[in-house]
Chain A
Amino acid sequence: MADKDPNTVISVRDLVNAFGSQVIHDGVDLDVKRGEVIGIVGGSGTGKSVMLRTVVGLNQPVSGSIEVLGRDVLNMTSDARHELETHWGVLFQDGALFSSLTVAQNIEVPLKEDLKLPGRLMAEIAACKIGLVGLPPDAGDKFPAQISGGMRKRAGLARALALDPDILFLDEPTAGLDPIAAAAFDQLIKDLQSSLGLTVFLVTHDLDSLFAICDRVAVLVDKKIRVGTLEQHLQDDHPWIHDYFHGPRGRAALPPGMAGR
């Protein structure tokens, strides 16, 4: 095939997802390149999270093919799958921390499962990740129920980063955060992305996040996907896309340089 670009880390072809008779995605194609931040947007119920869940293999599509890092996600042995899972980290909406473990123990889970590391080193790595995501050092000993929603997201991010993955999947990372915390979280993702060389697959509702950190944006409309840079989407005359980017909130989030017609 012509699209065997070594820089393509995620390649989705002809994806069809349906729940019962309700078709969510009807022939979606998407390529994500190494080192880019791609934002997935769309109205409620257009299947943004379903898209993410399908790519990481939590949802079996009706048809289509998905390749992550050159490997076919839909047809693979459990060993191959396990190996692939060490190359990505997923942050779920509310962090999805294991409630019976402390934050530090949560971060140690992937380390314990995949690598046989000495306990002292695991504690050091966990403390390092806690610092990297901007949590105070004493957060490590707290249980998920004892920390705020924003801290839970940071802790979830720290767990997703535990194995230093190539790809980071984020499901609405800034939803439910106050604007200051959301901006700080955007900056954090940007910093980590550039220093760790991550590819980021970002499902979001947050226009500010899109403008702040995304290289390209994929819009889910009419059961299909439209991928492009922000400038391209601003020119698009599809009614939903136009309303989305040119509505009052879209205009407010628009950086000054991009305010063109």
Chain B
Amino acid sequence: MASAATILASDEQGGLVLRAAGEWLVASASELDRRLNALELPQGQQVTVDLGGVDRLDSTGALLLLRTEHALAERGNQVALANLAPRFAPLIDQVRARGIVEPLPHPVPPHYTLVGFVARIGQVTLLLLNRLYDILGFTGLVVATAMKLIRHPSRLRVTATLVQMELVGLDALPIVGLLSFLIGVVMAYQGADQLRRFGAEIYTVNLLGVSIMRELGVLLSAIIIAGRSGSAFTAQIGTMQVNEEIDAMRTLGLDPIEVLVLPRLLGLSLTLPLVVFYADLMGLLGGALMSWIVLDISIPTFITQLQGAVSEGTLWVGVVKAPFFAAIIAQVGCYEGLNVTRSAESVGKLTTQSVVESIFFVIVTDAAFSIIFSLLKI
């Protein structure tokens, strides 16, 4: 950088003279801003701004200069620019004509105050209730569309449904299997540790059987699928929404619910129960292996004990919840995807929201099932 930008004030005959010199560029804007703000501006005088020493000027420099001129004029001074080099004249004119704009004040966000905080709680609550209402409405729409499909079964998109079954079910088996296996291992280890104190190590098998088959298998699968496939539904449909593909579909007479939502809903509802069964098996396998290692319970003993501890009903109590969870995940995922506005940012935001919401609703539904089962004494 050559000569720095300077501004010097001197009282001369005929009023105040401000002498600007050097390179008035954006690179020295910080320094210039400080110097200009430090100037003591007079009132009701004749002020000359001498630009003879300015070597280079860019639009930021011109802004700083004209901002000062403006401030001087506001205090009732007579301001004149002197010795302006002709090559800077168009820039000065341009900035003077359009560039002297008071920046908008940035108000304190209202939720930083106490009242704002309370108001925000209210707003968010209403928003959530509204969303619940919307999702219920969406469920109604999906059910109505499904009813139409029952009357015209040939309109069911079989290929799309099978593709979804592969994507959400088959492709999820490795991760679901591994995690269930590990949870089985952890449960057996922790359970054995506690039950050994009472000399009741063998009941580790009962603990494993009941907790995995009734709750853990289905909950774990649902949460993994929500994170894996629910998010994918939102992102896929959301990206289509950004690309106007959904609108294109409507203009071609295709119903997005029928084409996009139902295959996903059906695919997931059909595969999640199978995934849950598989997760149960893998969880029990992990538990059996760990029991064998730490408790010396051989595999045949494990199986005999398991047969005494659980019945076919225990399995069904877990698996029966799967289609409900699948419906929740698919609907929330598709609903949020269709809610995407035409910006990339909203795809990300709604994808996160979709995962959080579907896991939330899955766990709430699971709690509701527990209450119903206990009332029914299952």
Contacts A140-B104, A145-B341, A195-B94 known; A132 to B59 CB distance under 8 Å? yes
Interface residue stretch chosen among A117-125, A170-178, A243-251 = A117-125
Residues of A within 8 A of B343 (CB): 99, 143-145
Dominant SS among interface residues on chain A: helix
Taking the complex as formed, is A192 at the interface, i.e. its CB lies under 8 A from any CB of chain B?
yes
Contact A132 B99 (CB under 8 A): yes
Taking the complex as formed, is B21 at the interface, i.e. its CB lies under 8 A from any CB of chain A?
no
Chain A positions 95-126 with a Cβ under 8 Å from a chain B Cβ: 99-100, 104, 111, 115-118, 120-121, 123-126
Taking the complex as formed, is A60 at the interface, i.e. its CB lies under 8 A from any CB of chain B?
no
Taking the complex as formed, is A129 at the interface, i.e. its CB lies under 8 A from any CB of chain B?
yes
Contact B342 A145 (CB under 8 A): yes
Interface string of B87-112 (1 = CB under 8 A from A): 10011011100111111101000000
Bound Cα distance from A125 to B91, whole angstroms? 15
A143 to B, closest residue via Cβ: B343
Taking the complex as formed, is B63 at the interface, i.e. its CB lies under 8 A from any CB of chain A?
yes
Contact B29 A121 (CB under 8 A): yes
Residues of A within 8 A of B63 (CB): 124-125, 128
Contact A124 B67 (CB under 8 A): yes
Contact of B59 among A100, A129, A137, A144 (CB under 8 A): A129
Taking the complex as formed, is B121 at the interface, i.e. its CB lies under 8 A from any CB of chain A?
no
A164 to B, closest residue via Cβ: B58
Contact B345 A99 (CB under 8 A): yes
Contact B30 A137 (CB under 8 A): no
B346 to A, closest residue via Cβ: A145
Contact of A115 among B30, B67, B99, B345 (CB under 8 A): B30
Bound Cα distance from A130 to B102, whole angstroms? 11
Residues of A within 8 A of B98 (CB): 131-132, 134
Taking the complex as formed, is B25 at the interface, i.e. its CB lies under 8 A from any CB of chain A?
yes
Contact of A196 among B27, B29, B91 (CB under 8 A): B91
Contact B94 A127 (CB under 8 A): no
Taking the complex as formed, is A3 at the interface, i.e. its CB lies under 8 A from any CB of chain B?
no
Contacts A99-B344, A164-B59 known; A115 to B102 CB distance under 8 Å? no
Residues of B within 8 A of A144 (CB): 343
Bound Cα distance from A10 to B93, whole angstroms? 29
Chain B positions 49-92 with a Cβ under 8 Å from a chain A Cβ: 58-60, 63, 67, 87, 90-91
Taking the complex as formed, is A161 at the interface, i.e. its CB lies under 8 A from any CB of chain B?
yes
Taking the complex as formed, is B26 at the interface, i.e. its CB lies under 8 A from any CB of chain A?
yes
Contact B94 A115 (CB under 8 A): no
Residues of A within 8 A of B100 (CB): 128, 131
Residues of A within 8 A of B91 (CB): 195-196
Bound Cα distance from A137 to B84, whole angstroms? 28
Taking the complex as formed, is A191 at the interface, i.e. its CB lies under 8 A from any CB of chain B?
yes
Residues of B within 8 A of A196 (CB): 58-59, 91, 94
Residues of B within 8 A of A124 (CB): 63, 67, 103
B90 to A, closest residue via Cβ: A195
Residues of B within 8 A of A125 (CB): 26, 29, 60, 63
Contacts A132-B94, A195-B93 known; A115 to B27 CB distance under 8 Å? yes
Contact of A194 among B26, B67, B90, B103 (CB under 8 A): B90
Taking the complex as formed, is B244 at the interface, i.e. its CB lies under 8 A from any CB of chain A?
no
Bound Cα distance from A134 to B95, whole angstroms? 11
Bound Cα distance from A124 to B64, whole angstroms? 9
Taking the complex as formed, is A236 at the interface, i.e. its CB lies under 8 A from any CB of chain B?
no
Contact A163 B95 (CB under 8 A): no
Bound Cα distance from A216 to B236, whole angstroms? 45
Bound Cα distance from A123 to B95, whole angstroms? 16
Residues of A within 8 A of B60 (CB): 125, 128, 164
Interface string of A12-46 (1 = CB under 8 A from B): 00000000000000000000000000000000000
Contacts A161-B59, A195-B94 known; A128 to B29 CB distance under 8 Å? no
Taking the complex as formed, is A138 at the interface, i.e. its CB lies under 8 A from any CB of chain B?
yes
Interface string of B3-42 (1 = CB under 8 A from A): 0000000000000000000000111011001000000000
Residues of A within 8 A of B87 (CB): 197
B28 to A, closest residue via Cβ: A115
B341 to A, closest residue via Cβ: A145
Residues of B within 8 A of A192 (CB): 94
**Measuring CB to CB, which residues of chain B are less than 8 angstroms from any residue of chain A?**
25-27, 29-30, 33, 58-60, 63, 67, 87, 90-91, 93-95, 98-104, 106, 341-346
The contact sample of 29 A-B pairs, CB cut-off 8 A, is A99-B343, A99-B345, A100-B345, A104-B104, A117-B29, A121-B29, A123-B106, A124-B63, A124-B103, A125-B26, A127-B103, A127-B104, A128-B59, A128-B101, A132-B95, A137-B101, A140-B104, A144-B343, A145-B341, A145-B343, A145-B346, A161-B59, A164-B25, A164-B26, A195-B90, A196-B58, A196-B59, A196-B91, A196-B94
**Measuring CB to CB, which residues of chain A are less than 8 angstroms from any residue of chain B?**
99-100, 104, 111, 115-118, 120-121, 123-132, 134, 137-138, 140-141, 143-145, 161, 163-164, 191-192, 194-197
